[in-house]
Structure 1
Amino acid sequence: MKKIRRFESTLWLLIKVVLYCLLMAAFIMIMAKENPTLIRLSRTMGITLSTYCVCGLLFLSIYGKYDVGRRKSKPIIYSLSLAVLFTDIVTYLQLMIMNTITPSVYAFRFDSIGSLVLAYAVQFIIIVAAAYGGNGLFFMIHEPESCCVVTSSQESLDCIARAIMKYKKQYRIDYIVDYRDKDALKTIKKAQTVFLYDVPSLQRSEIIRFCYKEKKNIYMNPEMEDIVEINAQYYLLDDVSVINANVKAWTMEQRVMKKLMDMGLAILLGILTSPIWLVSAIAIKAYDGGSIFFKQKRATIHGRVFEVYKFRTMRENVENRSVTDDDDRITKPGKILRKTRMDELPQLINILKGDMSFVGPRPEMLENVEAYEEELPEFRYRLRVKAGLTGYAQIAGKYNTSPKDKLIMDMMYIEQFSIVRDIQLMFQTLIVLLKSDSTEAFKTGKEEEKYIFVPAKETEETEKSGE
């Protein structure tokens, strides 16, 4: 294993090259049954290979690469499957266009869609084998990293430990220490990786300096000042190094482009999903005869209040509170709509009305906004832009993600905004439909017990009571 680790970067590079070549070869070889020029030296072959490579790199940058060891197998499968699907479709359309412009005896026809489906099925099998096999190989080479969690309270420990414990093959929590412990640095030195969670800025800086000196891997939860710093740029003022955080509102051009994109997509998706609207409305009405739509007051840009539209998924006149597993308020049609996220479709109306955008922070209930702002005053910064149908917090987070983590994700989006980023997030929204935990409800107290972790040892009191 030590010898393998010496050449590990080369090994993974070769595995990635072989994987991507196999995926492309599966498409080319199967589609060649309909168009033999694909496996002959020809213009068709050259353009098709070029198109496949360019589109493949583009969609891999959107959905994520073959990063075994960093992610679990299923997320890798979801990412690669979607990237390959869109690459196949674009390349297939390019082939049809080429043969339409220059007709030949091997003219591509729509009835070759069967070959496309077969090619994707073979590619999917390759992706599944590569994901599980790659992660299996990675964890044969690497044992779980010995970790030290540095935190400030039992509540914070429970939060970060719950997340780490979902990656048991990557991380093993061996040490837990209160940042105020006088022997904290000695404990940190024993570990390979350090998780800093809810540690004050001053003490965190000291620990980071120590970890850098000792060459320890560092993970830390970001605060607002970190978001500003992450999005800042290095700037040389004469011969003085500074970091420039150019905090300003979006430009007029960005706003106009975003508005045009919102209107165009809302109309297009409204037309394409009209059958789903019809079936959903019939199912909701037939189940209990109640109203089809659910309306609720939410907050959008600058705190403006509007009514958000959704397909009704709960029984009427029930208590309005967060959803839990096996919630008896949810109707049978509602379970399907919530699982597939189709209950969100009526928000296309909100987009056309100008209340929402396609991409942005999710609109929170008014009572939640007040509660969150009381605990996190920075939460109001989310209202600098319009609420969105989808966003980074909806793609990367879950229904029960903490308000602070949602805030961090939303602020990252706001500070890194671009039209290209919006398009990327729209494509990534498809991953939400595949993730089983994206609609994960709040757990009951009984279920939370499995996440209980050994708390950090309390530090000795060095000050007298009352001082």
Structure 2
Amino acid sequence: MNEENIWGKFTFMDAISQSQRKLSHDIKLRTLKVINVLLMTAVFAAVWYFFLQSRIASPFYNKGNWLVIFIYLLLYAILGRTYDAFLVSYNRISDMVYSQCLAALIANFLLYIVTWLLEKHLPNVLLFLMIFGAQILIAVLWSTLAHRWYFKTFPPKRTFIVWDMRKGMTDLIHEYGMNQKFNVVGNCRASECIDHLDCLDGMEAVFLTGVHSHDRNVIIKYCVEHHIASFIIPRIGDVMMSGAKRMHMFHLPILRLERYRPTPEYLFFKRLFDIVFALIGLVITSPVILVVSILIKKYDGGPVFYRQCRLTKDGKEFDVLKFRSMRVDAEKDGVARLSTGDADPRITPIGRSIRKVRIDELPQFINILKGDMSFVGPRPERPEIAKQYEEDLPEFRLRLQAKCGLTGYAQVFGKYNTTPYDKLQLDLMYIANPSLVQDLRIIFATIKILFMKESTEGVAEGQTTAEAGKPEIEESVGQESERKTV
């Protein structure tokens, strides 16, 4: 294959035309998002000016009022971005409404605290409920109109799927309602695509799923040159490479990759954060902990808490602490198994309720104080289940590079029954780029999934692990062999 076959069909004028269309597309979308932020902030600003600022003992001058309003705008914009509240092109209307309302609710709560401190007594909560009510209407109206406008203005992208290790991307596009965004017009193996790159001509999007690095590099170069958006489902090595440090040596660009080794400063502040907020969490949730303890004890007289051996950093074992949500004899046969969800007969009625909003995890604040866990990190697996996963996927132990957490990347962006292969990749994404900013983003994103039923979806009945639900793999994921390149 020569360079002319790859680059020769795309003219300079084509590139200019597509760049201009892309720029116009981005400007329209950004304008739409700015309108949303301004509308949400305008509701707060109106109530602040007419009802709140006059009640403060030392009234602000005009600049002070603008500062409070700007703080609200900034909070809502950051939270909205954290919850993907403005992704018109990828989210359903209901997802955008939920995310915007959650961002507005948290911003309102924080400004309620600020107002309380300024007034030196509790503000009228009805005013903030009025703000939130108006914002719900704005969220519904904006999301509906923005969604309709976007898909009327921008038709579905002509999409091609290139696969190697795993298939089923077309089914996922249908399952998640992305047909309005991606119109799949064809698919083929990576080897076939390499031989006939012109099959991508006229496409606007290409999905590459489990494609080997050599083939993937050829395809994405072609896509970039022809202004085709590429969506790549990575392999384990790709995710690990995302954490490589860029450096220069011997007058050459070099990527340095090593085992998880965060800076001492990061570890210090992470531990400090864990201790402070675990204590605060225990104090704030103590009434909930007391009520749940009484209900569990009253239901069947069994123990309130449940201890279970789990794995943390470097394979160290510890006992995780949870509220007991299952019958006392849930594993009387001695077999370690994941829950099948709401239909699991082992779960008690009280357990089913506390699982829905993760209340069963509250005792893990004690594990965090002891240092067994952190707030953010890969979720700890049971040794028996981890051993089963490692039989087919030896790389699964790479999750143990970092201390386990109460929440993590795989919990926010995956599900309870996410396959071991995909769970590993999500956790490695977190391990590859440790930072306090990322930890905070995951903590705030966790709030979003608390009331999302699909995030707690169990494994299929009869399964003991999530392994049986893994995507279709063309070759062993535990032995990822890269093709030799010449």
Q: State the TM-score, normalizing by the size of structure 1.
A: 0.84
Structure 1 residue 455 displacement after superposition: 12
User: How far apart, in 2, do the equivalents of 1:317 and 1:97 lie?
Assistant: 51
Q: Which secondary structure does the structure 1 equivalent of 2:445 belong to?
A: helix
Question: 1:324 is matched with which residue?
Answer: 340
1:389: how far off?
0.4
CA contact (8 A) 2:337 2:385 kept: no
Deviation at 1:309, TM superposition (A): 1.5
1:299 touches 1:305 (CA, 8 Å); kept in 2?
A: yes
Determine the C-alpha separation between the residues in 1 that align with 2:308 and 2:112. 44
Count of aligned pairs: 438
User: Which range is displaced more, 185-194 or 273-282?
Assistant: 185-194
Name whichever of 34-43 and 69-78 sits farther off.
34-43
Q: Name the counterpart of 1:161.
A: 170
TM-aligned CA distance change 1:232 to 1:73, over 3 Å: farther
Q: One-letter code of the match for 2:142?
A: A
Tell me the equivalent position of 2:309: 297
Once residues 381 and 375 of structure 1 are traced to their aligned partners in structure 2, the CA distance between those partners, rounded to angstroms, is 14
For 1:355, what is the secondary structure of its paired residue? coil
Mapping for residues 63-462 of structure 1, pairs under 5 Å = 63-100=83-120, 109-152=121-164, 156-158=166-168, 160-165=169-174, 166=176, 167-181=178-192, 185-189=197-201, 191-237=203-249, 240-245=252-257, 249-319=261-331, 320-325=336-341, 326-443=343-460
C-alpha spacing 1:116/1:282, structure 2 compared with 1 (3 Å): same
User: Shift of residue 244 of structure 1?
Assistant: 4.6
Cα distance in 2 for partners of 1:455, 1:273 equals 44
Query: 1:377–1:150: structure 2 CA closer, same or farther, 3 Å change rule?
Result: same
- Mapped to 1, the partners of 2:254 and 2:23 lie a distance apart of 38
What SS does the aligned partner of 1:35 have? helix
The whole-number CA distance in structure 1 between the counterparts of 2:261 and 2:300 is 47
Deviation at 1:15, TM superposition (A): 2.4
Q: Give the drift of 1:342.
A: 0.7
Assess, with a 3 A threshold, how the Cα gap between structure 1 residues 302 and 248 changes in structure 2: closer, same or farther: closer
1:250 and 1:374 map into 2 onto residues whose CA distance is 29
CA distance in 2, matches of 1:207, 1:47: 49
SS in 1 for 2:185: strand
Q: Which amino acid aligns with 2:340?
A: T
Instruction: Supply the distance in 1 between the matched residues of 2:153 and 2:21 (Cα, whole angstroms).
Output: 8
Secondary structure of the structure 1 residue equivalent to 2:96: helix
| Conserved? CA contact 1:37–1:45, under 8 Å | no
CA displacement 1:417-461 (0-9 Å, x = unmatched): 11232222212210111322111122459xxxxx9x9999xxxxx
Q: Distance in 2 between matches of 1:371 and 1:291?
A: 29
Question: For residues 396 and 12 of structure 1, what CA distance do their matches in structure 2 show?
Answer: 24
**Contact 1:78-1:434 within 8 A present in 2 as well:** no
Q: Distance in 2 between matches of 1:272 and 1:209?
A: 53
1:337 partner SS:
helix
1:174 CA displacement:
2.4
* Residues 1:93 and 1:286: Cα distance change in structure 2 (over 3 Å): closer
Measured against aligned partners, the alpha-carbon deviations of 1:62-120 in whole angstroms (never above 9, x if no partner) come to: 333512112223332333223222322333333444445xxxxxxxx524221011101
For 1:214 and 1:9, the matched residues in 2 are separated by 19
| Corresponding letter in the other structure for 2:401 | R
Query: Does residue 46 in structure 1 map to residue 66 in structure 2?
Result: yes
- Report Cα offsets for 1:203-240 as digits up to 9, x if no partner: 22222233333332211212233224333455455754
Supply the distance in 2 between the matched residues of 1:210 and 1:78 (Cα, whole angstroms): 38
Once residues 383 and 473 of structure 2 are traced to their aligned partners in structure 1, the CA distance between those partners, rounded to angstroms, is 35
The verdict on how the C-alpha distance between 1:243 and 1:384 changes in structure 2, with shifts beyond 3 A counting, is closer
Q: Quote the residue 2:51 is aligned against.
A: 34
User: Structure 1 unaligned runs (5+)?
Assistant: 101-108, 446-450, 457-467
Structure 1 residues 455 and 407: CA distance shift in structure 2, 3 A: closer
Query: What secondary structure does 2:309 align onto?
Result: strand
Q: Return closer, same or farther for 1:231/1:126 CA change in 2, 3 Å cut-off.
A: same
* Aligned equivalent of 1:464: none
Q: 1:342 to 1:443 in 2, by over 3 A?
A: same
Q: Where do 5+ consecutive residues of structure 2 fail to align?
A: 1-17, 463-468, 475-486
Q: Distance in 1 between matches of 2:273 and 2:383?
A: 28
Say if 2:307 and 2:319, in contact at 8 Å, map to a contact too.
Answer: yes
SS of residue matched to 1:437: helix
Q: Which residue of 2 aligns with 1:459?
A: none
Moved more, 74-83 or 420-429: 74-83
Report % sequence identity.
32
Q: What is the aligned counterpart of 1:16 among 30, 33, 36?
A: 33
The code of the aligned residue for 1:218 comes to S
Deviation at 1:59, TM superposition (A): 2.8
RMSD: 3.1
Q: Secondary structure of 1:207's match?
A: helix
AA aligned opposite 2:338 = S
Listed one character per residue, the Cα deviations across residues 229-284 of structure 1 (whole Å, up to 9, x for unaligned) are: 33345545575444454755122222222222112211111111112112212222
AA of the residue aligned to 2:182? Y
CA distance, structure 1, for counterparts of residue 181 and residue 374 of structure 2 = 38
The separation in 1 between residues aligned to 2:278 and 2:252, in whole angstroms, is: 49
